[in-house]
Structure 1
Amino acid sequence: MIEPATSSCGKRGLIIAIDGPAGVGKSTVARLLALRLGYLYLDTGALYRAIAWKVRDAGLSPEEPLAITALLPKTTLHMACGPEQSHVLLDGRDITGELRTPAVTALASMVSAIPAVREWLLPVQRQIGAEGCVVAEGRDIGTRVFPEADVKFFLEADAEVRATRRHRELVAAGHSVHFDQTKRDMTGRDDRDRSRTVAPLIPAPDAERIDTSSMPAEAVVEHMLAVITARL
């Protein structure tokens, strides 16, 4: 199901898990950390977005879990992980640039709550991290995907700060969205992610929790590197 990639660490390395809600800076921090360590960067959210993209393309609704489940055996999903970005090929087509639109983002949150989708993607994620040397970010990395990860982080931030970051990101990408709508969408996604029955968004008991509200990404990475070094 996946397209394997190699890292530059040259040996069996660590699995580092980064979890948290939208807007806390997971993607930025995970990419920077992977670069510093010479590790692969695994964006698990891109996998769920890819399934959401296919659901939308098929004209299905998230209220049709059986129809969505039926799509999965007919799906070929390849993920090429690099130190800065994960490229996603769905049924032979590179859809990486189409995965972060507001519509796909909203649908991904609903599709990811379908247990069959999470079960189908679980081995895909684990296979990528099987050899270590990976920084994986998502919402259930430290609790379900890699519960035995060597180091776990859970990022948090003030809701207003997170909404501002997300809105800025969307505008920079050329999307015309209002801040209030962005905040409502984010809050709704948080509620769905935290309340779903399978792999809810919660910190792992052994995760280092970091509030990124007033921390630049570089400072967060430096803190993470200090934690990683202390635990080795």
Structure 2
Amino acid sequence: IILQNSTWSVYSYVHPPPPLSTCLIVLICILGSYPLYPGATLVPGHDSLFDFAQSIPSNSAMQPALNDITESQAVNDDYRNSGQTRGHLNPSMHHSSESQISTFTYTNMAPQESNFNSGTWNQYETFLRDQILPSCSQAYILTGIILSGSNPGEGRWLRDRVNVPTFYWSAFCCVKSDGTRWAEGRLGRNTSPYDVVTKTIPHLQDILSQEYKAQVDWILPREIRPA
């Protein structure tokens, strides 16, 4: 997603169809079990948005589709009484009131410890919103997670369905109006002490290559990486 003159748009090889060209579009890419979320600009939201599935009557024509959803993604019951919060990857505080609702979907969520969600990771998201984005003519943000295990029994899980990540990671590139570029990464621990550590993009890619057991060299498009 690109921020240009305070307007967000998607960068990809496919342009959105005309009816969607003026809407907020969130690009989601799945690498195996690891969701990756390009960032955008969001605002604090309402928990009731998460309860949409529970509001559908059992005899509704939508119910079969809802049943299919529970087979492929997290739902409200997975988080209930789990002690985990619903952590935004595309952070809600970055979006305008008109577009924040699009971030309250479970495909944009991962389990997050409360102290991490409201503490050090929130501080990083605030840093992006208040210090990075206003100074950029274009800003590129990519966020992802590192799972604690690939299968139930490995690592931490909610109801043996949803993995609790060990780390959240993020990378950004700020392109200034004069064409200069600044890029950094962050690696945040989803367990105490909830530290968020600054990484160079190459170092972050090395860490992810080890964790994902695959070569990671795609965090930022080559054409926008700093020289």
Q: Which has the higher helix share?
A: 1
Which protein is bigger by CA-based radius of gyration?
2
Q: Same fold judged by TM-score > 0.5?
A: no
Greater RCO, CA 8 A, separation 6+: 1
Bigger strand share:
2
TM-score for the superposition, normalised by structure 2: 0.25
TM-score using structure 1 length: 0.24
